[in-house]
Amino acid sequence: MSATQFIELIINGLITGSIYALVGSGIALVYGTTRVLNFAHGELMMLAGYGVLLFAVTLGWPVLLAALATILIVMLLGAVIQRVTIAPLLKREDWAFNVVAATIGLSIFLQSAAQLIWGEQFQGVPYFFNGVAVIGEVRMPWQRIAIFLVALGVMGLCALVLYRTRLGRIIRATAQDAEAALAVGIPSGLVHTAVFAISAALAGTGAILLSPLVTVSPWMGASYLLKGFAVVILGGLGSFGGAVAAGFLLGLIESFSVAFVSTEWSNVVAFLFLIAVIWARPEGLFAGRGA
Amino acid sequence: MLEVFGRRPYLVLLVMALLLAPVPLLQLNDYILHVLTLFLIFAVFATGWNLTLGILGLKTLGHHAFFAVGAYASAMVSHYFGVSPWITIWLAALIAALTGLLIGFPILRIRSMPHVAIVTLAFAEIVRLVFANLKEITRGELGFWGIPPFDPIQIGETTIRFGLGNAAGSFAVAAIMFVGVHLALLLLLRGRCGLTFLAIRDAEAAAESLGVRLAAWKLFAFAISAAVVGLSGAVYAHYVLILTPTSVAGPEMLISLLAMIIVGGVGRFFGPIYGALLLTVTSELLRDFGDFRMLLYGALIIVFVFAAPAGIAGLKPRFSRKETETRKTVEAV
């Protein structure tokens, strides 16, 4: 393997990994605070894809404005989903499986609804950033580099909110003990909804960044959901930082697996790695502090 | 036990068997027999999955992998080595059971529900990708065809033929498997074994403290459940005669079966059967509106989780108890 190839594999791994990290950290945030595994997370991505298609392509808005509008809408949707389908189930004794079942149902419902409304075709979104960056011998379209940089920025912002603001302290307190948080006057129910909205924003960001590369379709979120889950487990369930690190790790593993096996096996390698980790370290690779 | 099996499980099964027995003689139209055959195969699949999901309480989401393993194993052995499907279906059940043990081991150490769900889901995805990628032997998504149907059986003057297009014979095979599997499971679960499973589901730590060897029992349940699902997959393969990785191990299979179990009743022995019947028949009625099938399944899952988490099977005891209570009050008066 030449040095150029090696650098290319690293860059590709980091770019794929940044999407996994975005999706996974959103799932981890929700799991960390509410112990809810949201199977409809991928559909939030899909809806964000259609949002950016509507605003940026059909209506022709500037990219930044379209992205902001899409993220706001997806945050609202995430909050509504939490309020309407998840919050009522949490009062039940066997809520853990009920929530999984309900969000699986919701996920397939949204997917088929999107298929009926927008059809089965894969719709392209033009690149937001044109041109190709040349670093030494490596040529990389700016769009792909932007994915990495924007993802890093958004996750950094999220970490800043979580660990350096009052809202973040409230979220982490709820994550540690929802009842105790309630006792000191934190409205845990509202915090759960807020966390869902933030998680939706992360999924939406991922989908917007991806949409020019993978095209928008009813199934665009489904394939990332399982990767997101894998990232959450690898990172130690519920750990935000762990999920980010695991996302990049999974991206790099997939990228480097291509050097040894053909591309259609790279997902098999990724999931086998997941099962091997579960076997050896059930608590995850980066288990540490929660939320 | 009462909640899981109802009051007279053997009687219920006998009634089901008696209802199924005359069906091939009724001269029904082939299409109706086809729908009923699919129902019986999926009912066995759902019952097998319910064994871990509802009765052992281990929330696995990847049993469509065992269906695919059973289907492909039986199809490939009979196709490539010319072994009779009557033999390969048992081989398929055995291979599925071994696969169940294989994935059972990493799961044993985990007690958190999300871990189990995600690992089993990832495992099913691995199985689907392996069958899709081994194009030289499975032809991938193009479909594995040339699967032999069950060998004809000669009884006196009449020859019974099987496979798609021979509706009565295929229905008979599915019905015999259906009754046989459920009878075997009832015999197994009505005793110590079923009690142990339910004890693990309801109070794992308490069961362990009473000397229940959790690891061994969980692996056992996993193997039995995978074997049942694998057997249903094998019978499916020799009925439809063509397999693609997505049709047997894709997300639609997961959703359909999960919907059957949830609608029928998670953890009720007969629940998945009612769910399979209801959903197989309605999805055939909706065939003209093909795109609505998954929409309906998604909506049904949500509605049942909210309105009737114990499913159709869970609805009945409440009514009957009310009836007996009213009867008692009437008698008292």
DSSP secondary structure string for all residues of chain A: --HHHHHHHHHHHHHHHHHHHHHHHHHHHHHHHH----TTHHHHHHHHHHHHIIIIIIS---HHHHHHHHHHHHHHHHHHHIIIIIGGGGGSTTHHHHHHHHHHHHHHHHHHHHHHHH-S--B----SS-SEEEETTEEEEHHHHHHHHHHHHHHHHHHHHHHHSHHHHHHHHHHH-HHHHHHTT--HHHHHHHHHHHHHHHHHHHHHHHHHHH-B-TTTTHHHHHHHHHHHHHT-TT-HHHHHHHHHHHHHHHHHHTTTS-GGGHHHHHHHHHHHHHHH-TT-SS--S--
Look up residue B168 and give its two tokens. 């009565």
- Give the chain B residue whose CA is nearest to the CA of A273: B122
Q: Which residue of A has its CA nearest to B126?
A: A268
Of A105, A112, A275, which is closest to B305 when you measure between CB atoms? A105
pLDDT digits (tens, 9 = 90+) for B147-182: 888 888 878 777 777 877 778 888 888 999 999 999
Measured CA to CA, the distance from residue B30 to residue B53 in angstroms comes to: 34
Q: Is residue A288 part of a domain?
A: no
**Whole-number pLDDT of residue B165:** 72
Per the structure, the complete domain to which residue A98 belongs is given by 3-280
On whether any CB of chain A is under 8 Å from the CB of B112, the answer is yes
Residue B301's pLDDT is: 92
Better pLDDT: A196 or B213: A196
| Within-domain flag for A22 | yes
Query: Does A58 reside within a domain?
Result: yes
Q: Note whether A107 contacts B295, CB cutoff 8 Å.
A: no
Least confidently predicted of A171-175, B96-100, B123-127: A171-175
Q: Is pLDDT above 90 for A74? A: yes
Report yes or no on A62 lying in a domain.
yes
The most confident of the ranges A5-9, A146-150, B43-47 is B43-47
A109-130 pLDDT, tens digit each: 999 999 889 888 888 888 888 7
Which CATH number belongs to the domain containing residue A247 in this structure?
A: 1.10.3470
> Residues in chain B, how many?
333
- Report how many domains make up chain B: 1
Q: Is the pLDDT score of A105 beyond 70?
A: yes
How many domains does the structure of chain A reveal? 1
Q: Is B297 on the interface with A (CB under 8 A)?
A: yes
Q: How far apart are CA B47 and CA A79, in angstroms?
A: 36
Q: How confident is the model at residue A289 (pLDDT cuts 50, 70, 90)?
A: very low
The confidence score (pLDDT) of residue A93 equals 79
Per residue in B100-152, pLDDT tens? 999 888 888 777 888 889 999 999 999 999 999 998 888 888 888 888 888 88
* Whether pLDDT at A70 is above 90: yes
CATH number of the domain where residue B295 is located: 1.10.3470
Instruction: Collect all residues from A whose CB is shorter than 8 A from any CB in B.
Output: 31, 37, 85, 88-89, 92, 94, 96-98, 100-102, 104-113, 115-116, 222, 226, 229-230, 232-233, 237, 264-265, 267-268, 271-272, 274-275, 278-279, 282
A71 within some domain: yes
Instruction: Say if residue B325's pLDDT is above 60.
Output: no
User: Quick one: average pLDDT of A64-87?
Assistant: 93
Residue A215 pLDDT greater than 90, yes or no? no
Q: For residue B261, what pLDDT is reported? A: 93
What is the per-residue pLDDT for A109?
A: 93
A115 contacts on B by Cβ (under 8 Å)? 291
CB contact under 8 Å between B306 and A111, yes or no, is no
B328: containing domain: 2-332
| pLDDT band at residue A290 using 50, 70 and 90 as cut-offs | very low
**Higher local confidence (pLDDT), B26 or A274:** A274
The predicted model gives B289-315 an average pLDDT of 85
Tell which B residues from 44 to 83 touch A, by Cβ distance under 8 Å: 59, 61
- Asked if B290 is an interface residue toward chain A (Cβ–Cβ < 8 A), one would say no
pLDDT reported for residue B316: 58
Is residue B191 less than 8 Å (CB to CB) from chain A?
no
Top-ranked range on mean pLDDT: pick from A133-137, B182-186, B195-199: B182-186
Q: What is the pLDDT of residue B290?
A: 66
- Contact between A170 and A11 (Cβ < 8 Å): no
Each residue's pLDDT tens digit, A145-162? 888 999 999 999 999 998
**How high is the pLDDT of residue A291?**
45
Looking at chain B, which residue has its C-alpha nearest residue A117? B291
Please, is B68 exposed, middle or buried when counting C-beta atoms within 10 Å of its C-beta (0-12, 13-18, 19+)? Answer: buried
Provide ipTM, 2 decimals.
0.89
Asked if A105 and B130 come within 8 Å (Cβ–Cβ), the reply is no
- Closest residue in A to B129 (Cα–Cα): A268
Please say if the pLDDT value at position B81 is more than 70.
Answer: yes
